[in-house]
Every structure is written in C-alpha cells, then in structure tokens.
Amino acid sequence: MERGILLAMCCLMSAYRQVISVTPQDEDIPVRRLWREKATSEMQRFKRAWVIPTISVSENLKSIPFQVVQIKSDKQYQSSVIYSIKGPGVDEEPKGIFTINKTTGIVYLNAVLDREKIDRFKLRAFALDSDGVPLEDPTDLEIVVMDQNDNRPVFSQALFKGYVLENAIPGTLVMRVIATDADDANTDNGQLKYSIIQQDSPEMFSINQDTGEIRTVQVGLDREVVGSYNLTVQVADMLGDGLSTTANAVISIGDLNDNAPLFTQEEFVMEVAEQIAGLDVGRVSVTDRDLRGSPNWMVKYSIISGDPHGAFSIRTDPQTSEGILSLVKPLDHETSSIHNLTVLAENEAPLLPSVPRTSHAQARIKVIVKNLNEPPVFSENPMMVRVKERINPGSVIGVFTAKDPDISLSQEIRYSLISDPANWLLVDAQSGQIGTRYSMERKSPFLERGWYTALIAATDNAVPPLSSTGTLSVEVIELNDHAPVLWQHSGELCSSSHHGHGILLSATDEDMPPQSHPFHFQLDQSSIALTLNWSISEVNSTHAMLELLSEVEEGVYTLPLLVSDSGDPPLAQLHMLNVSVCRCDALGICSGSAAALFSSGVGISLSALIIILSSVALVLVLALLLLLFRCTAGSAGQKGLLSDSEEDVRDNIFNYNEQGGGEEDQDAYDMNRLRNPAMAVPLSPRFKPPIRRDAPYSQTLPRYPRRLSDRPSDIEDFIEDVSSWVL
C-alpha cells in the first residue's frame, strides 16, 4: 500500500533536521504536513520515512495543559486519520504526562517537568484509519526537557579538614573541596566556580576556582603561633554569578621539631639517705613548645657526667615529660656526701638542622647524701680459724672485730655470742677476743666435715642500737693420739710357699685422716729368720698381705708385727700375729690346722684354754639363773599379794614379846590392813559403812605392798660373789 509521510513542527530537509523549542510564549502550534510524492523522469516513486524532529520543552512550565506539537499525515485528505502516542509519560510510568488529540494530532503537556528527574521522553507516534489500519509507519517522537537554573551547588561535606606542616613552602597543596550541581553541566547552570570569602590570616591560603584545591600562599606557618586556620569557602554556578553555597574548612598545622627542650632551672638539689637503693630521688623539669605528647615534645634524659659507678639512673615520665632520677646502688655518706651530676635533655625526634643549639639543654643535679646510723661491719666475715683438738680451756684462738662505718659518730661496739652449739667458746665483750671454754673434740657431732661454726654479734650503742652478725668457722685439726690397731691377730698358711697363698692383714685407727691411714706394716727386722721366711707387701692404704718366702715346718708361729700410721708425728704399735702353718692339699686347703693348735710350737697354752672355757661356762650358768629368777618373779606378780585362799599374806610383821598390846601398839599399825578385802562386811542398806569398834572407821582402805624390783640387789650380790669365786 502506498504510504505518505507524517511531519511535525518543521519541514524535513534532505540534509539536516531542525529542532524546534516550544515555550509558553509560542502562540501558534507547530504543524507538520506531509511531503508530496515526486516522480523521476522514469516515472518512479520513492518513499520517505515518517520522521519527526526533536522537540524541546522547558522544565518548570506552569501553564498546563500546554500544546506541545501537532502531527499530521498526508493521508488525512484521503480518509479520516486517528492519531495516538505510546511510551514513558503516556501509557508507561510516569503515566499521563503527555496526551494526544486523536483527531487533530495535537500533543498536550499535562504536568510540570523536572529535568533533574527525567531529562527526555521518547514516544512512539501512530496514524491509523477508521478501520484501525495503519496509514503510516510508526515513528519516534522525542521530547527533550530544557534545563533551568533551579538548583544550588552543594558541597560534599559541610566541614572540610586539611593538614599541612609548619614552615611549608608557598604552593604546598593543603586540601581540596568538592561541590556538585544537579543542573545540566553542559550549560552555565552547572558550571561551578570556587572562592575563599573569609580566612583568619589574609592571603595565607588560596583556592583554585575550577578544581577547588587549596594551597599555601606565603611562608611563615608556625604551629607554636597559630595551630589551625578557619576558612569559609563558596561555590557558585553560572560561572560564579548564579546560585551559591558556602562551607567551612579547618586547616591544622602539623608540628615539626623546631624547638629544643629547655630546663626550667640550671641546678636541681635533691637529698637521699645513705645505704638505700631502688627509690626515686627527685624530678627535673623542662619546657618544650612543640606539640604536647608528640615525639617532638617528649624528652629523653641521660647522665653525661658525675656518676662513674652507675649509682643513678634517670627516666622520663610519659605524662609530664619530666625526668625522674632514681637510685640504683646504695650510697655511703662517709665515702661521698655530695654527688654532682650533669644531665642532658633531648627530644625523641631529631631536632631540625636549622634550629640553633642551646646550653639550656643541660642541667646540674646536686644530690646530698644524708648520714644514717649503720650497723658495724666485720673486717673479715666469715673468719676462719684452725685449732688443734683437745686444746686447753681458756686458750685464745683469735680476735673477731668489727668497725663502725659511721666515722663522724663516736660509738662503742660490744660483742656477744649468738650461736655456740657445743658451748665451747668465750668472747670478750670489749675486744672481740675469742677463747675456748672447753677442749674441742674432733669426733664431736657438732662438727661438719671437721668444721665448727659459731655466730658472733657486734652491736653499737646508738639509739636504737644496730648490730651485725659474723660467722666464725673453726677447723678442728685432728691430733695423732691413737696408734693403729691390727684388726685380726691370727691366720693360717700353707707350709709350701709355692701355693701362692697369704694372709690379708688390715688395721684401724681411732684418729681421722690425715692422722690415720695409710698404714705401714713391718715385721721385726731384728730376727733374721723372720726376714728370710716371711714377707709383707702393702695392698692399699689400710691392708697388707703376709706371705711365706720359703717352706717352713708345720705349727703355730707368733710373728711380731709393727703397724704405724701416717700422722704427724707417726705412731706405731707392736702386735703379735699368730700364724698356723699347715700342710695343704692340691687345692691349697689347709688340713692340719687342728693338730697344729696343740703342737709343741708356740701358741695358746692348755691352761689358757681351760680358763677361757671356764669363763664361758660361768657366763652360761649366770644366764640360766637370771632366766629362772625372771620366771619366778613373773608368776608371783600374776598371783597377786592377796588371793582367795584362807591364808592372808602380809609383808609387815611386828614382834611385841608380850601378850596383847596397849593402845600405843594399836595406834602404831592399822588393823584394817590385816583383813582380807574379800571378807569385808557389806555396806548398810543406806550405803553407809558399818561402825567397827576395833579400828577407826574413818581410815582409808589397806595399802598393798609395792611390787618387787625385777633386779633385786640380793640376786645381784649373789651373782657377783659367784663370779669372784670362780675367778
């Protein structure tokens, strides 16, 4: 079907599209008629598209409804045309903004437009006949909302904060402020310009009107003079001549270490007591104009002179930056009563090279040491003394003295014993001289590895008095006062020397090393027979081996053996060693020792043997008698002093040698003791004892005799008599 062209608002040109702006002042509605068809020389026809140019409508238009445009089709004269539009603002959200007269094709604006919400509407236009058949192809109808300057610029924040170091050079970037405008940025409505309308110091900062960058203009930023700057910044649209908005900007000046710490005094005076450590002596203070709490303000202290022994230390108070002088080691007033220290103060952060150095960064500290009473000090503690055992009582073993460190005070020192476990010592209270009360024994349990320990107190006469304790260590030296003793006095050997057997000899000594072993064993050198037939060789410090050098006859030999110790001087003792020489079998076992005991050789005689056996028999008899006595005493104890038999046993017997007895005899002995308790008269019904006429009723019950001793003296005397008779 042949179709025409629908035009609106302006004529379609082959080279360009013309945009028509519709405002409330337009009196005539733009009307667009169709293009006429033209034929070429060949009588051909060409179709032109139904194109409608862009239509502009100003926002905030108040005269509503407003006729925006009228569209017409070139088929309108051939038949009736029905017009319609669709799209956002018509039948899509937001609905109802635009409507069209379906007969005339006039498009109406029914609401106030806001470009900041919707800047353009793209609609679709249709042309139909009465039967609903499209007469033209659908075409686009674009309505552009024109901007008005109805929005002020807005800063991104109400308060901007900037930071710049002091002494910054001109042109240093400090900060940037940012603003936006909802109006069209492509028009003057959205073109913004920045400016500073107020600042604390004129011409100190500048702002770029296009970018909003704030920079320094002059030198001389000093945080110690002005710590921060307040600026009022303005932004305006229409290239600075339109709507405007202001904001505040605060610029903080950063601190540099351009101020050295200065002591508040050239000299500080402090006092401290002597002999005390681990305490704070005092404080030193400084001033610093830099930022409080920063490394540029915080001070570190050091002692540069006057403390060769390291008795002092100084630290920083983090809250006040003061220097705290502490005492590390105790001071002595007598050694030095005044200490002069030199202290240096520096910041934790390095000082700027341009800052001049000052002598006020050093100060003197005068520390006065107060004198206190100090306890006496022993010149030698512990004091060690060597004393020989069994030293005579009253002997002086040493002088244990102490000195008073308080030279300026004239004080006396007295000495006393605090600990003397064995009560061996005496101390002179005035001189400190130590003497012996009793002789010292090396074997005393109060010695530990040969050392005796006592504690001596030295006390001054101050108020209150002070004392110190000294340790006296006495080494008790062993004396060689005991000769060594042979442990065994008999033994047996094979008569043939080739068997290689010997007798192992050992000795003991009551003395302790070095006054005892090693022991030396030696046979009597005066007898040639001994030296030819016998030999002794040392095994260790306490043992030796006796061996035969040649074969000798069987029998018992008594060998004189001299045993000596290693004391100073050495002591020796002669012992008689009985050696039984016998014939041995192939295994080296002696078989004839019993016969050798009674041989004609020297040894134990028959009479001596009889005496020994008699003594043994006597001891056995005495043991038997003692056992018999114990058994008898035990049975008597079980029976008791009073039994149920008719006999009444008593241990008190009186012989009057007269018939009857007087009153004095009756008073001398209690008759109640002679009655058997089992035959006593029972109590009366009222539990009262019956009245007896033969004895006072108020006497106590009879007393039983004490149990006999387990070892009565008569038995002991008997045993001693028998022993003396046998011997």
78 and 133 share a domain?
yes
Task: Give the residue with greater pLDDT, 647 vs 185.
Answer: 185
Distance of CA 698 to the CA centre of its chain: 82
125 and 220 share a domain?
no
pLDDT of residue 634: 59
Contact 313, 365 (CB under 8 A): no
In whole angstroms, what is the distance from residue 279 CA to residue 313 CA? 10
Across the range 331-338, mean pLDDT stands at 88
Across the range 634-640, mean pLDDT stands at 52
The one-letter amino acid code at 100 reads I
Contact 474, 451 (CB under 8 A): yes
In whole angstroms, what is the distance from residue 255 CA to residue 253 CA? 7
On the 0-12 / 13-18 / 19+ scale of CB atoms within 10 A, 464 is exposed
In whole angstroms, what is the distance from residue 361 CA to residue 355 CA? 13
In whole angstroms, what is the distance from residue 40 CA to residue 264 CA? 110
The one-letter amino acid code at 435 reads G
pLDDT of residue 531: 77
Could you tell me if residue 702 is inside a domain? Answer: no
Q: What is the DSSP string of 34-94?
A: PPPP-B-TT--B---------EEEETT--S-SEEEEEEEETTTTTS--EEEEESBTTTBSS
Return the bridge partners of 455, or none: 419, 471
366 and 381 share a domain?
no
457 and 388 share a domain?
yes
Q: Could you tell me the pLDDT band of residue 636, with boundaries at 50, 70 and 90?
A: low
Q: E strand or H helix at 399, and its extent?
A: strand 396-399
Q: E strand or H helix at 724, and its extent?
A: helix 713-726
Does 6 have pLDDT greater than 50?
no
In whole angstroms, what is the distance from residue 425 CA to residue 417 CA? 8
161 and 180 share a domain?
yes
Summarize pLDDT for 449-487 with one digit per residue, the tens.
889 999 999 999 888 888 999 999 998 887 877 888 888
Edge-first strand listing for the sheet containing 279-284? 279-284, 323-327, 312-316
Q: Give me the residue label for tokens 């053996």.
A: 561
In whole angstroms, what is the distance from residue 55 CA to residue 70 CA? 11
Across the range 186-201, mean pLDDT stands at 90
pLDDT of residue 25: 39
Contact 316, 347 (CB under 8 A): no
The DSSP letter of residue 569 is: S
Contact 162, 252 (CB under 8 A): yes
Contact 556, 601 (CB under 8 A): yes
Q: Could you tell me the pLDDT band of residue 700, with boundaries at 50, 70 and 90?
A: very low
319, 340, 370: which is the final residue of a domain?
370
477, 507, 527: which is the final residue of a domain?
477
Q: What is the CATH number of the domain that holds 454?
A: 2.60.40.60
Calculate helix-pair angle for 713-726, 606-639, nearest 10 degrees. Answer: 170
Summarize pLDDT for 338-372 with one digit per residue, the tens.
999 999 999 999 988 888 777 678 999 999 999 88
Task: Give the residue with greater pLDDT, 190 vs 48.
Answer: 190
Phi, psi at 594, each rounded to 5°: -70, -40
Q: Which residues contact 434 (CB under 8 A, 6 or more apart)?
A: 385, 396, 397, 398, 399, 400, 425, 426, 427, 428, 456, 472
In whole angstroms, what is the distance from residue 431 CA to residue 415 CA? 8
209 and 308 share a domain?
no
Could you tell me if residue 711 is inside a domain? Answer: no
Q: Could you tell me the pLDDT band of residue 19, with boundaries at 50, 70 and 90?
A: very low
Summarize pLDDT for 669-696 with one digit per residue, the tens.
555 555 555 554 454 444 445 555 454 4
- Scored b (16 or more CB within 10 A) or e, 334-370 reads eeeeebebebbbebeeebeeeeeeeeebebbbebebe
Across the range 300-327, mean pLDDT stands at 95
> Which tokens go with 179?
């603003």
Residue 75: Cβ within 10 Å count: 19
Q: Indicate left, alpha or beta for 41 from its phi (over 0: left) and psi (-120 to 50: alpha).
A: alpha
pLDDT of residue 3: 41
pLDDT of residue 2: 39
In whole angstroms, what is the distance from residue 355 CA to residue 160 CA? 33
Dihedral sign from CA coordinates of 404, 406, 407, 413: negative
Helices (H), ranges, 408-488: none
313 and 410 share a domain?
no
164 and 144 share a domain?
no
The DSSP letter of residue 220 is: -
- The whole domain housing 399 covers 377-477
Does 300 have pLDDT greater than 80?
yes
SS3 238: helix
pLDDT of residue 686: 45
176 and 239 share a domain?
yes
Could you tell me if residue 176 is inside a domain? Answer: yes
Does 45 have pLDDT greater than 70?
no
Summarize pLDDT for 426-441 with one digit per residue, the tens.
999 999 999 999 988 8
SS3 719: helix
Rounded to the nearest integer, the mean pLDDT of the chain is 79
Could you tell me if residue 453 is inside a domain? Answer: yes
How far the first Cα of the chain sits from its last, in Å, is 177
446 and 576 share a domain?
no
Q: Could you tell me the pLDDT band of residue 628, with boundaries at 50, 70 and 90?
A: confident
Could you tell me if residue 642 is inside a domain? Answer: no
Summarize pLDDT for 379-427 with one digit per residue, the tens.
889 999 998 888 889 999 999 999 888 777 778 899 999 999 999 999 9
The one-letter amino acid code at 575 reads H
- Candidate from 76-90, 92-106, 643-657 with smallest mean pLDDT: 643-657
Q: What is the DSSP string of 304-369?
A: EES-TT--EEEEE-TTT--EEEEE-S---TTT-SEEEEEEEEEESSPPPTTSPP-GGGEEEEEEEE
- Candidate from 472-476, 650-654, 715-719 with smallest mean pLDDT: 650-654
pLDDT of residue 87: 92
468 and 496 share a domain?
no
> Which tokens go with 366?
């005068």
Distance of CA 148 to the CA centre of its chain: 76
Q: What is the DSSP string of 571-630?
A: -EEEEEEEEEEE-B-TT--B--HHHHHTSSSSS--HHHHHHHHHHHHHHHHHHHHHHHHH
Whether omega before 308 lies within 30 degrees of 0, making that bond cis, reads no
Q: Which residues contact 112 (CB under 8 A, 6 or more apart)?
A: 59, 60, 61, 62, 64
Could you tell me if residue 647 is inside a domain? Answer: no
130, 148, 166: which is the final residue of a domain?
148
Residue 576: Cβ within 10 Å count: 12
160 and 104 share a domain?
no
Distance of CA 445 to the CA centre of its chain: 43
The three state secondary structure string of 159-178 is EEEEEEECCCCCCCEEEECC
Does 92 have pLDDT greater than 80?
yes
> Which tokens go with 505?
């000899």
pLDDT of residue 626: 87
Task: Give the residue with greater pLDDT, 590 vs 244.
Answer: 244
**Percent of the chain whose pLDDT exceeds 70:** 76
The one-letter amino acid code at 82 reads I
- Scored b (16 or more CB within 10 A) or e, 78-93 reads eeebebebebbbbeee
pLDDT of residue 667: 53
**Percent of the chain whose pLDDT exceeds 90:** 35
In whole angstroms, what is the distance from residue 360 CA to residue 498 CA? 105
Across the range 288-315, mean pLDDT stands at 94
Q: Could you tell me the pLDDT band of residue 488, with boundaries at 50, 70 and 90?
A: confident
Could you tell me if residue 653 is inside a domain? Answer: no
Number of domains the chain is built from: 5
> Which tokens go with 601?
């050789």
Q: Indicate left, alpha or beta for 398 from its phi (over 0: left) and psi (-120 to 50: alpha).
A: left
Could you tell me if residue 28 is inside a domain? Answer: yes
Summarize pLDDT for 564-586 with one digit per residue, the tens.
888 778 888 888 889 888 888 77
Across the range 523-549, mean pLDDT stands at 84
